[in-house]
Amino acid sequence: MHCPMNRRKFVGNMVRTLALGIAAPFVPGSGKSDLFPYRDVVLGHGDFKYRIDMDWGALDPSFYPVNDCHEMVQDSMGRIVLLTNHTKNNVIIYDRSGKLLEVWGTDFPGAHGLTLNVEGGEDFLYISDNVRHEVIKTTIDGKVVMTLPYPAESGKYASPEAYIPTETAIAPNGDIYVADGYGLQYILHYNANGDLLNVFGGRGEGDAHFDNAHGICYDDRDPANPCLLITARQQNKLKKFSLDGQLQDVVHLPGAYICRPIVHAENVYLATIWSGDGEAESGFVSILDRSNKLVSAPGGCRPVYQDGKLNHMYQVIRVFRHPHDVCVDNDENLYVAQWNSGKTYPIKLTRV
């Protein structure tokens, strides 16, 4: 029988693995015990480095099960809100230490997108359900206040089944933007009352169109020129649009299959569900600076630009299987929710 590798030697090997850009083996399983070897590894690059917190948010799955942990947000009370497509408890609310506070929701079998917006001093959630083919607005404790059904009035959809919304973004005036990331790839623009104002994007050739318009967010880092950031996941691109749907810029992220963008302070954070050439059980977190340049990739190789172009990105350590969303808290710690990862709870990355 071989003696187990001592802890110091293992951590040293992992650090060398990160430095060399070699993928460490991942041992499949159903819990966070899979991550034990990575307990002391620091992920990331430059000013954005993080230590893995393996214990955060783990619950008894017989009482609080999850299927896919799709998305997470922080509410006005500082609580971390998780959306899962398990209908025993679609919404799981933690404090920042990972302690369970409450659960609710049994009516969202396709719970996928979760956006929080503060309206009149009150928190509201926008849930994109890709089984119900709807976007549902609720209070923070789960009372439904509005439902946006499939947009028949757009003239683009023959049936609800063609419409599979994945994400929303809310403008300061209450306008709602819905990304149909698994359907016909349109971006639907509504006013706060749910009246359809505009439709743009859709499948097609050219960067004004999409292949997997998976995520969308409102970007006000330049207050004089707010815009929308929309991911084209299968194209490894982040696209910038005006609020009326005009393409303004394209950010190329080769090897990074990005989910929804999150703007926090001067940076954009994106869970990257696959990497390299789209390998399964892959991925990392992408962090962009104010100019939308990739500056850190926790779990991925070091970002390198040559002649202004980013080198092909890939995973170097298999902490993540299919990271689907990242939440940034007030201390700039990260919480990573994962799709198709053995029904595991989120992983916290504590900034160091």
The sign of the torsion formed by the CA atoms of 114, 28, 300, 276 equals negative
Q: Answer yes or no: is 208 within a domain.
A: no
pLDDT of residue 55: 86
Q: Answer yes or no: is 177 within a domain.
A: no
Residue 189 has pLDDT above 70, yes or no: yes
Q: Answer yes or no: is 134 within a domain.
A: no
Cα torsion for 238, 124, 348, 129, to the nearest 10°? -60
**60: how many CB neighbours lie within 10 A of its CB?**
8
Specify whether the CB–CB gap between 101 and 112 falls below 8 A.
no
Task: Work out how many domains the chain is built from and give that number.
Answer: 1
Residue ranges making up the domain that contains 281: 1-63+262-352
- Give buried/exposed letters for 138-168 (b at 16+ CB in 10 A, else e): bebebeeeeebebbeeeebbeeeeebbbbbb
Specify whether the CB–CB gap between 257 and 249 falls below 8 A.
no
pLDDT of residue 41: 86
pLDDT of residue 36: 60
Name the DSSP class of 71. E
CB contact set of 182 (below 8 Å; sequence gap of 6+): 130, 164, 165, 166, 212, 214
Choose among 195, 303, 181: nearest CA to 254. 303
DSSP track, 254-286: TTEEEEEEEEETTEEEEEEEEETTTBSS--EEE
Q: Answer yes or no: is 303 within a domain.
A: yes
Name the DSSP class of 24. B
Type of residue numbered 287 = I
In sequence order, which ranges of the chain are alpha helices (DSSP H)?
A: 7-20
Phi/psi at 307 (5° precision): 55, 35
Residue 3 has pLDDT above 50, yes or no: no
Lowest mean pLDDT among 50-54, 156-160, 293-297, 330-334: 50-54
Give 147-180 pLDDT, tens digit per residue.
Answer: 999 999 999 999 999 999 999 999 999 999 999 9
Q: What is this structure's pTM? A: 0.90
Band (pLDDT 50/70/90 cuts) for residue 4 is very low
Terminal Cα-to-Cα distance of the chain (whole angstroms): 38
Region 57-77 average pLDDT: 97
pLDDT of residue 30: 38
What the block records as the tokens of 76 is 């006005």
Specify whether the CB–CB gap between 257 and 272 falls below 8 A.
yes
Q: What pairs with residue 284 in β-bridges?
A: 272
pLDDT of residue 34: 58
**188: how many CB neighbours lie within 10 A of its CB?**
26
Distance, CA of 317 to CA of 319 (rounded, Å):
6
Name the DSSP class of 315. B
**269: how many CB neighbours lie within 10 A of its CB?**
23
Q: Answer yes or no: is 146 within a domain.
A: no
Q: Answer yes or no: is 244 within a domain.
A: no
Give 86-107 pLDDT, tens digit per residue.
Answer: 999 999 999 999 999 999 999 9
Type of residue numbered 234 = Q
Lowest mean pLDDT among 29-33, 53-57, 140-144, 220-224: 29-33
Q: Answer yes or no: is 284 within a domain.
A: yes
Type of residue numbered 107 = D
Residue 192 has pLDDT above 60, yes or no: yes
Region 198-208 average pLDDT: 97
Q: Answer yes or no: is 44 within a domain.
A: yes
Q: What is the mean pLDDT of the chain?
A: 91
CB contact set of 303 (below 8 Å; sequence gap of 6+): 45, 293, 294, 295, 296, 297, 310, 311, 313
Band (pLDDT 50/70/90 cuts) for residue 78 is very high
Q: What pairs with residue 247 in β-bridges?
A: 241
Give 16-61 pLDDT, tens digit per residue.
Answer: 344 333 333 333 333 455 556 677 789 999 999 999 998 899 999 9
